[in-house]
Structure 1
Amino acid sequence: MPFDDIRRHGPERGGAHERAINLPPAILWIIGLNVAVQLLRELLSEAVDSRLVIEFGLVPTAYTGQPGADWLSLVAAPFTYQFLHGGWVHLGVNMLSLAAFGAPVERFLGVRRFVAFYLSAGLAAGLVHVLSFPDSSDPVVGASGAISGVFGAVLVLLWRVGRMPSLLPVAGVWIALNVFFGIFGGTPGAGGQPVAWTAHIGGFIYGLVAIRMFAPPSAREERPPPQRPQ
């Protein structure tokens, strides 16, 4: 996978035998869970599926004054919205992105730290969306906020190992693209769901900042200074 050599800086080491699909376990489980959820939704009627999205998607007004919101939905939705998608294209784009950018981050953090980081990035992204659109009653679904956090983290890892001289140009372009497509475009295959572009940006910034807090203690040292040519 891209940037795979970052794993040598993390706590895990590859074994002698390589799998055909060379993805670490948490990534495989997250992808499998997302696909399983989408498959189960295909078995539901349209009415039941719509109700499921309303109950377990992230609805800002449920947290900003809508009366009668179910407490289970309020507690679960910040997590469950990350595993619901607007369609197979939306799911496929997100899972391919997770596979590309998540593998080196998981190998750096380890399984448990990665899962905690991934879910917390989704929570941060969801919080930013709720704060940005407090009057919206549209349910937001998708793993994009969490994956944006993973993308921010992998940029930091690239910078740490000297493969990126500065984070600012890439981060600036990425944020600008999200603003542009959030205002003028749409999420591929999202099935009419609103584009949570502020959540993407929030998750991304969270990933840039929080990756160090989740890093193993032995890997929290500052980036070594670049070597000057002799």
Structure 2
Amino acid sequence: MESRPEDYLPEALRDEPSVRREPLLTLPGALTAYIVLLAVVHLQVLLPPDLEKWTIVVFGFIPKRYDSSLLAAGFPGGEGAKVWTFVTYSVLHANLSHIGFNVLWLLPFGSALARRFGAIRFFAFMAVTAAAGALAHLVTHEHALEPMIGASASVSGAMAAAIRFAFVRGSFLSFNRGDADAAARVPAQPLWRALRDRRVISFLAIWFGVNLVFGLGSIAIGTEGVSVAWQAHIGGFLAGLLLFFLFDPVPRTVPARQDQI
């Protein structure tokens, strides 16, 4: 007998006649709030040029800031910027195409994740994956002066987390249900099982291939134009894939195993 998304809901909810069924294309509140946040922050481009540059320096992620040199000590923001820029860089964008590209990828993957996690977990997850992307950028761009900005590390993390349950029957990539909430709450595959799924492996191969070859997404602003911080994407993606279990509120239906993440 074919299983249905509602079969994965807790029994008390499964039999509740008032359970709300929501179309797949309706955005959850947490994702809507996140997109609005990106749009509001992007209004900084309307500031006078000097003030806009100051905003990017104070809230963008700059590897040079973590040097012990006197030059690093002179960055605006002081010691506090060494902490908050691990996250704040991710809500800044260079232009409308930059922010639009990130939002476009968030619509399917971020929507499912926001439904599954709820608002608090979703925003915490986006912050953690942003920090992981910044750390990857710091390790691979030591002493770099160019500020890195963009939500691409968090978007990559959301994509990675979503594939832990996206290919399970009844999930949002099945396209056979109109109940978005139920489709977002199917039990996730353990990591060891997901990495044996050919569909997941194919997705990983395509994603890493696109990022390594084209480096689409997050942008670093420098004196010589724009460059792509693809290492930050990979950092965010790996964090989303590996740390998904810390945020996932949906119980597993498979027996626990020692190697299960």
Normalising TM by the smaller chain, what interval? 0.7 to 0.9
**Cross-structure match for 1:51:** 54
Distance 1:17 1:159 in 2: 21
Query: Is the deviation greater in 151-160 or in 119-128?
Result: 151-160
Structure 1 residue 221: Cα displacement: 4.7
Structure 1 residue 18: Cα displacement: 5.2
DSSP-derived class of the 1:23 partner: coil
Residue segments in structure 2 that go unaligned for 5+ positions in a row: 175-193, 257-261
Distance 1:159 1:126 in 2: 29
Query: Is the deviation greater in 101-110 or in 15-24?
Result: 15-24
Deviations 1:48-79 (A, max 9, x none): 10111111100011123323341122222111
Alignment of 1:170-181 (within 5 A): 170-181=203-214
Contact 1:86–1:189, Cα closer than 8 Å, also in 2: yes
Deviations 1:162-201 (A, max 9, x none): 868332221122112111113xxx6599774431100101
Structure 1 residue 9: Cα displacement: 5.3
2:213 maps to 1:205: no
Q: Which of 138, 143, 149 matches 1:135?
A: 143
**Cross-structure match for 2:80:** 72
DSSP-derived class of the 1:194 partner: strand
For 2:74, give the aligned amino acid: G
Percent of residue pairs bearing the same amino acid type: 31
Structure with the bigger percentage of helix:
1
For 2:207, give the aligned amino acid: W
Change (3 A) 1:173 1:98: same
2:30 maps to 1:31: no
**Cross-structure match for 1:84:** 92
Change (3 A) 1:49 1:198: same
**Cross-structure match for 2:177:** none
Distance 2:66 2:169 in 1: 41
Deviations 1:118-144 (A, max 9, x none): 110111111111111112111000000
For 2:126, give the aligned amino acid: Y
For 1:58, give the aligned amino acid: F
Contact 1:79–1:122, Cα closer than 8 Å, also in 2: yes
Residues matched between the structures, number: 215
Structure 1 residue 7: Cα displacement: 9.2
Change (3 A) 1:135 1:188: closer
TM-score (norm 2): 0.72
Distance 2:102 2:19 in 1: 28
Distance 1:8 1:22 in 2: 22
Structure 1 residue 93: Cα displacement: 0.9
Residue segments in structure 1 that go unaligned for 5+ positions in a row: 225-230
Change (3 A) 1:156 1:81: same
Structure 1 residue 26: Cα displacement: 1.0
Contact 1:140–1:193, Cα closer than 8 Å, also in 2: no
Change (3 A) 1:19 1:190: farther
Distance 2:29 2:21 in 1: 15
TM-score (norm 1): 0.81
Larger radius of gyration between Structure 1 and Structure 2: 2
